[in-house]
Amino acid sequence: MVREIGATGVWDADPVWREAFARVPRHRFVPYYYLDTRAGRERMWGERPDRAHRERWARGAYADRTLATRLRDGTLVTSSSQPSLMARMLVDLDVRDGDRVLEIGAGTGYNAALLCHRLGEDHVTTVDLDPEITESARTHLAAAGYRPAVITGDGARGCPERAPYDRIVATCALRSVPVAWLGQCGPGARILTPVSTGLLALTVRDAANAEGRFLRTPAYFVALRGETWDGVSDDDLLETHAGALPRRAVRDDLFRFLFSLTAGRLDPREALALWQHERFPARERFGVTVRGDREWAWLDDPEGPYVWELTDG
């Protein structure tokens, strides 16, 4: 797994992360997971008596793919993200020795363990709404020798009691950036979070102001759930309009990103016209600005002609 990820060149900018992936055992964080097969979902379990099954489980644990780890009424609740995407996000988080990091979405605890290896467990806080998830993550982390702060709470509210943070990284999808996060960061802090199906990298100016662009990397995560977040991805809205749009657009990853980012502000035909007029803009042409209670997405220029409010402020 480490060799395969390294072949992409992702660690050239910060080779310390290669050591973290080589030293933190992913299999301890996925004692079981689910695979989609023709016969339905198959539960892979590391302690099953059948040796062949255990070997398949181990190979899957170190495959460069997302692993579904918790289902509830047939719906995916949490997963272990694709390791190469995790590597890209950790490099793009641009941490420095001594940085304090808040992770939104504890998942299996694997990402928090990688952060602990890099920065030390006293510098890492991970938050999740679901007490079953946090308890499981805490158990996995302890088994691997790491004891960061694992907090049960609404990720949209951050974790003020452990602030301030130099970095915030989210491993769940959002429709906008919670302003509470900015107030828990110091000036110059970096926030890396999935918004729509892209990765947004924000630089925090102060408790009410931040701005940044999307990275080239696509990102598909389970939506954030909380008291003020319903867990519904705007990307789902495209499916209800698919019949009115060209098949090429519906299947195009960049159009789906644009439509999701502007959902509720542009109708499908307006989104299609913009996509075509701007020659199928890549993610990195888009950005987000936060100023007080107002938050908006933009294409090319935060004060330009193409802006879409992400909040109702």
Domain assignment present for residue 251? The answer is: yes
Query: Which tokens in the block code for residue 307?
Result: 């802006």
Give me the pLDDT at residue 313, please. 42
Name the amino acid, one letter, at 201: A
Measure CA 142 to chain center: 23
- What confidence score (pLDDT) does residue 234 get? 53
- Does residue 81 carry a catalytic annotation? yes
Instruction: Assess whether 255 and 193 both reside in one domain.
Output: no
- Tell me which amino acid residue 68 is: A
Looking at the structure, tell me whether residues 95 and 192 fall in a common domain.
yes
CA distances from 2 to 10, 171, 214, 222 (A): 11, 21, 26, 25
Do 68 and 167 belong together in one domain?
yes
- DSSP summary character for residue 1: -
In a domain, 223, yes or no: no
Which residue stretches of 36-130 are H helix? 51-61, 83-93, 110-119
Of 218, 245, 276, which residue constitutes the final position of a domain?
218
pLDDT for 28:
96
Range of the domain at 202: 2-218
Are 175 and 265 within one domain? no
The verdict on 259 and 160 lying in the same domain is: no
Distance separating alpha carbons of residues 158 and 145, to the nearest angstrom:
25
Does some domain include residue 183? yes
CATH of the domain at 51: 3.40.50.150
176 and 239, same structural domain? no
Q: Flag whether 195 is in a domain.
A: yes
Same domain as 101, residue 58: yes
8-state DSSP, 263: B
Q: Identify the domain boundary among 193, 218, 243.
A: 218
Does residue 187 sit in the same domain as residue 103? yes
**Region class of 298: left (phi > 0), else alpha (psi between -120 and 50), else beta:** beta
* pLDDT under 70: residue ranges of the chain: 226-242, 264, 312-313
- Assigned domain for 228 exists: no
Q: Does any domain span residue 227?
A: no
Instruction: Note the pLDDT of residue 180.
Output: 95
Phi, psi of 217 (to 5 degrees): -65, 125
Predicted pLDDT at 226: 60
H-helix or E-strand spanning residue 257: helix 253-262
Indicate whether 22 and 67 sit together in one domain.
yes
- Among residues 218, 248, 276, which one ends one of the domains? 218
Instruction: Calculate the alpha carbon distances from 82 to 49, 89, 220, 285 in Å.
Output: 27, 11, 10, 25
Residue 162 falls inside a structural domain: yes
Residue 76, pLDDT score: 81
Helix%, strand%, coil% for the chain, nearest 5: 40, 30, 30
Amino acid in position 99 = D
Of 79, 80, 81, 136, which one is the catalytic site residue?
Answer: 81
Domain membership of residue 257 (yes or no) is yes
Q: What is residue 178's predicted lDDT score, i.e. its pLDDT?
A: 94
Whether 206 and 99 share a structural domain: yes
Total number of domains constituting the chain:
2
Do 124 and 250 lie in one domain? The reply is no
Note the pLDDT of residue 312. 52
Token digits of residue 18: 């290669």
Looking at the fold, whether 74 and 114 belong to one and the same domain comes out as yes
Residue 118 in tokens? 């890099």
Joined tokens for residue 92:
């793009």
Tell me the pairing of strands 40-45 and 75-80.
unpaired
N-to-C CA span, the chain: 45
